[in-house]
Structure 1
Amino acid sequence: MVVIQTVDNSTVVAKAKPISPQAFAAYGGILACDLQMAGASQSSANQGTAVKLMKMAPVTNNYANAPSGKPATANWNIFRSSPPKHLFGSSNGTKTYTSKVLERHPYTTQTFVPMGCSRDLDAFLVIVAPDKEGLPDYEKVEAFIFKGDQSVTYGVGTWHAPMVVLGDTHLDFAVLVHENGVDLEDCEEVVYSGMTIELN
């Protein structure tokens, strides 16, 4: 990861909301069977014991456009993510999270799939922002709460915060991403003084 800018944005406040495919479409895709079953292209699979929902989130490798010319491989990584308790707080009875970093992967999608988490649990927080001339437009940051049976795919070049686990203990994620080992091509970061995300 390479830090490309540091910004004072301590006045920015955003309210987290439940996830939906439509709300997240500008930032990538989600995998959430209960939310996507009705509108998805479907087929029967596994001798009739499964329903396949087709092409639900993109998997993209644009490293052919990277300056180094170094090819990337598709990798499944595991992230064991702990709740960032030092960044949680409260204000006037509202639980808050202070977001201090946004990052992006300029040439690849990145998908986080939670492992072994309850579908009823508010499991993790996803914070995203649109791009503005090569940097996050932090004044338009959005935040979404994901359940334990929902996954997120960040689109190519989508600015997002590192994973924010909402429970009391760590959560494991299987993570699909393309990587070529060139730090600036794999991940860029912008560091902030801290923007407030309201969780309730």
Structure 2
Amino acid sequence: MPSSMPAPSIRIPIELLTQSSFSQFGTVIENPAHSEAPPSQRLPPPASVSANQGTALKYIDVTHMVNLYSLAPSKKPARAVMNIFVCSPRELRPHEPSESMPSSWGDIDLDDDEDNGERQLFDVKILERHPFTTQTFIPIGLSQTYDSTQYLVIVAPTLPASASRHKINRPPPFPTPGPRKRRSIRDIFARARPSPFTNEAAPPPSTYSRLHPSQRPKGPGLPDLKNVRAFIASGSQAVTYGAGTWHAPMVVLGERSIDFVVVQFANGVEIEDCQEVELVPERGADEGIAVSIEMDYRGGVRVKAGPGPVKAKL
């Protein structure tokens, strides 16, 4: 059983999945020419070159696989693995009016009566993370125009380790680094000498400082449940979770299953490959964290938060 932590009563509105809105948590992989992002959220496209004897356009370096298992306590090396997840549509519960407010979008009324769309709720009961590896989900066999089946990407920032310990009164479920050995004055000055094998007086930057912030180690903290976010993705989008990013297991919405090719590193040590936290509603609360889902007459999910027109249809 996973460790557990109390969850506040919060309803989360749905945002459109774009690289700009998701950059804190990882990477969105899509053809820039087909992006649904509003102009204010479009980033410069990746570098591209002609390929396949001029019949293809190759976008370069669209995501980064990161292997941080050198930081794992076991020091057991990892290898790149590729699996297929066949994800069935999730069961939703009927929408009920609630006084709970969305985490980051307190000015949005999720119970308004302007539209006649079907409203339902998805309860977020578990969050997981892969502390030493990125994880890329690539949907296959799902057309961009098939909007009656989509998937949710639910993520949360990471709390500082001190705040995590206070919340559950025990160490967080993450291997914490050992105490740093205090260096002597002699060691400090010895390291400050220029290397005889290079002209550089300063040491090169660490591997991790060169990574995008979303790909760097997140630390041992628990998820920040007051800032959970939910994004809706189409069949033309893949997503890479940054190493250590808290996220819900994949949530498929609609009529059919989605097959995902999942690429990550793994070393076979269970606690180092995947860590889970069960979310239990706070004492006296009727519900915990729930994503508010509103469908239009075609079965597509309406966007309720973020830049651009509210309730824009996918």
TM-score range, shorter chain: over 0.9
Alignment partner of 1:67 out of 63, 69, 73: 73
User: Alignment partner of 1:67: what SS?
Assistant: coil
Deviation, 1:177, is 0.8
Deviation, 1:72, is 0.7
User: Alignment partner of 2:256: what SS?
Assistant: coil
Q: Gaps spanning 5+ residues in structure 2: where?
A: 36-41, 98-117, 161-220, 281-287, 295-314
Name the aligned partner's letter for residue 127 of structure 1.
Answer: I
CA contact (8 A) 2:17 2:232 kept: yes
Alpha-carbon separation, structure 1, partners of 2:26 and 2:254: 24
Name the aligned partner's letter for residue 110 of structure 1.
Answer: Q
- 1:141-160 equivalences under 5 Å are 141-160=228-247
Alpha-carbon separation, structure 1, partners of 2:248 and 2:138: 16
Deviation, 1:196, is 0.8
Deviations for 1:115-140, whole angstroms, at most 9, x for unmatched residues?
10120225100000000021000110
User: Alignment partner of 1:23: what SS?
Assistant: helix
Match of 1:125 in 2: 152
Q: Gaps spanning 5+ residues in structure 1: where?
A: none
Alignment partner of 1:195 out of 253, 268, 289: 289
- 1:9-158 equivalences under 5 Å are 9-33=7-31, 34-35=34-35, 39-85=45-91, 87-92=92-97, 94-120=119-145, 121=147, 122-133=149-160, 134-158=221-245
Alpha-carbon separation, structure 1, partners of 2:289 and 2:120: 14
TM-score (norm 1): 0.92
Alpha-carbon separation, structure 2, partners of 1:76 and 1:196: 31
Q: Taking structure 1 as reference, are residues 37 and 118 closer, same or farther at Cα in structure 2, changes over 3 Å only?
A: farther
CA contact (8 A) 2:68 2:133 kept: yes
Q: Which moved more, 1:53-62 or 1:106-115?
A: 53-62
CA contact (8 A) 2:20 2:43 kept: no
Alpha-carbon separation, structure 1, partners of 2:89 and 2:45: 33
Q: Which has the higher strand share?
A: 1
Deviations for 1:12-35, whole angstroms, at most 9, x for unmatched residues?
221011111100001010111122
TM-score (norm 2): 0.60
Alpha-carbon separation, structure 1, partners of 2:79 and 2:150: 29
Count of aligned positions: 197
Name the aligned partner's letter for residue 150 of structure 2.
Answer: A
Greater Rg by CA? 2
CA contact (8 A) 1:83 1:167 kept: yes
User: Alignment partner of 2:89: what SS?
Assistant: coil
